[in-house]
Homo-oligomer: A and B are copies of this chain.
Amino acid sequence: MRKNSKDSIVEAAVFLFNTKGFSGTSIRDIAAKAGVNPANIAYYFQNKKGLLEYCFTAYFENYLSELEKGYLLLEEEGAELALKKIVENLLNYQSKNIQLTRFILREMTLDSQMVREVMSTYHVKERYYLKKVLEKGMRTKEFRNHSVLYVILQFKSLLNTPFLNIHYVNEVLHILPHEKYFIEKYSREVFAWIDSVLCEPKSIPARRIVSI
């Protein structure tokens, strides 16, 4: 089935930004790759900067809505479950949008006006949700006491690196973050981090008491 031309333009643009860089890509290149008339791009996005802004907004709106779905479990299900749902949702979202994710995460390492704007809106919002979850978990003794911001740093490290460093991950570690199998396996790894580093030790299983 033919995608609509707006989606085709975004897909073509992200592919070219990832291979030729943002500065190295022209509207003409994008139009040719997407199989549309350059005037279409102007119609939807005005110019290349407009297209870039659209990519950022689309990425972070969806990213935050995935995060919120996990956050909404906080009251009823508790902090550990909410955080694990957030991990699952964000890994899934990033894996399904692997090209866009890689491009956005790479752009976010720059020091530009747009990056500063994104940080002061979306990243501050993300920090707010994660802080709420972590603080509630510490209050209810699900989590040990921790420096919240250092936990967020580790959380972001674990969740972003496979997608930002996709070539390294593919070629040196032979791990394929676009495959469904990856999400299942890697979620378990991040869950193990939550269980072991964040959570208070669970009651000790009987067999371990016997072995003392």
Residues of A within 8 A of B (CB): 18-19, 21, 23-24, 102, 105-106, 108-109, 111, 115-116, 119, 123-124, 127, 147, 149-150, 152-154, 156-158, 160-162, 164-165, 167-169, 171-175, 185-186, 189, 192-193, 196-197, 204, 208-209, 212
17 residue pairs bridging A and B, Cβ less than 8 Å apart? A18-B111, A19-B111, A106-B106, A106-B109, A108-B168, A123-B172, A127-B172, A147-B185, A149-B175, A150-B185, A153-B175, A153-B186, A156-B165, A157-B158, A193-B193, A204-B212, A209-B212
Choose among B24, B119, B164, B165 the residue that contacts A171 (Cβ–Cβ < 8 A).
B119
Does A167 lie within 8 Å of B123, measured CB to CB? no
**How long is the Cα–Cα vector from A186 to B151 in the complex, in angstroms?**
10
Shortest distance from the beta carbon of A54 to any chain B beta carbon, whole Å = 22
Helix, strand, loop or mixed for chain A's interface?
Answer: helix
**How long is the Cα–Cα vector from A165 to B76 in the complex, in angstroms?**
34
Does B173 lie within 8 Å of A149, measured CB to CB? yes
Does A154 lie within 8 Å of B193, measured CB to CB? yes
Copies of this chain: 2
Shortest distance from the beta carbon of A76 to any chain B beta carbon, whole Å = 28
Q: Known: A173-B127, A212-B209. Is A153-B162 also a contact (CB below 8 A)?
A: yes
B residues near A174, Cβ cutoff 8 Å: 149
Does B165 lie within 8 Å of A108, measured CB to CB? yes
**How long is the Cα–Cα vector from A124 to B174 in the complex, in angstroms?**
12
Chain B's closest residue to A157 (CB) is B161
**How long is the Cα–Cα vector from A146 to B165 in the complex, in angstroms?**
22
Between A21, A23, A102, A150, the greatest number of chain B beta carbons within 10 A of the residue's beta carbon is seen for A150
**How long is the Cα–Cα vector from A168 to B108 in the complex, in angstroms?**
8
